[in-house]
Amino acid sequence: MITTATAIGGQVAINTVSPSSNTFAPSVENWPVAFYCLTLITNFSCTALLAYKIWRIESQSSAIFKTSSLSPVLIILVESEAIYSAFLVVLIGTY
């Protein structure tokens, strides 16, 4: 919700800048950084909640089913989040 509001606020700020200004105008420059930071926080939170849910289901089902393992799914989820987060951090740092 906050990320959407930031995206809308950034778009409004871009639309109010005069055509002769560049994209790094003072009224616009902070909106993309705020958006990417909030995206990073949302991504981390969602991945952490999904990882916890998968881990909990695996620990509960291991008592019933001896062959079920969701560890590869958990590893792929955490690794993909780490890669995406690394790209977002680079994007934030270079903006």
Residue 64 DSSP one-character state: T
Give pLDDT tens digits for 14-56.
Answer: 667 667 767 666 767 777 888 888 889 989 999 999 989 988 8
Distance from C-alpha of 93 to C-alpha of 95, rounded to nearest angstrom: 6
Q: Binning pLDDT at 50, 70 and 90, where does residue 68 land?
A: low
- Dist. CA 28–CA 37, nearest whole Å: 15
Q: Residue 6: its pLDDT value, please?
A: 77
pTM higher than the cut 0.95: no
Residue 67: pLDDT band with limits 50, 70, 90: low
Confidence (pLDDT) at 86: 92
